[in-house]
Every structure is written in structure tokens, then in C-alpha cells.
Amino acid sequence: MPNPEAGWNLTNVDECLDRWEQVCVPTDELRRLVLVALLSRMDDPYDGARREPWFGNEPSLWFWMVPGSLYAGQAVYVSFMVFERLGTVRIDSIMTLSWPA
């Protein structure tokens, strides 16, 4: 585990944000919400995140719905890997998905 005072290192954030912005074209407000939420992973990457059972062979892969992003039947989700020994969180994807009916 990393030093709690120093926090976790985030990687691949810019690349994932750029790709999400190109595909989903979020509003400025949603973009700011997602960026602030991503930065919160530096404090505690596990807060509100969960593992999905069908990825059982990859224990470091986590999924998380960005709080406050649910709007008009869609929400922003983030998948990321946690490397505890390195104190690193690698963002793998940011996506806007439809809320299940």
C-alpha cells in the first residue's frame, strides 16, 4: 500500500479522457465532474468501486460508476487496474453507458 499521505499515482488519465471526450462529447460540467472524480482515486481507489465476477482471473481490475454522472438514462463508468506494490492506479477506460432498463 502506498503512503496514505502521498496518495496513489494515477496513470493513463489523459489518454482515456481524450478518447472519452472524442467519442462521447460530454458537456463541460460532466467533463469537470469526471475529472474531479478521477482525481479522488488518488485518495482511495477502492471507494465505491467493485470487481466484476466474470473477470475473476484479473483481481486488480476494478469498475466504478462516477458519482453524480447519471443523467437521461446514461452514466459514466471507469475501469482501472490497481497495482498496490507500486502505489499506482492505471485508468483503462472511461465510458458513457446506458443505465439498465
Residue 3 has pLDDT above 90, yes or no: no
- Reported pTM: 0.85
Please give the Cα distance from 25 to 37 (Å, whole number). Answer: 18
Q: In what order do the strands lie in the sheet with 88-98?
A: 9-11, 88-98, 74-83, 61-65
Please give the Cα distance from 81 to 63 (Å, whole number). Answer: 9
Q: Where are the domains of the chain?
A: 9-98
CATH code given to domain 9-98: 3.30.2310.20
Residue 101 has pLDDT above 90, yes or no: no
Tens of pLDDT, residues 68-84: 999 889 999 999 999 98
Please give the Cα distance from 33 to 39 (Å, whole number). Answer: 10
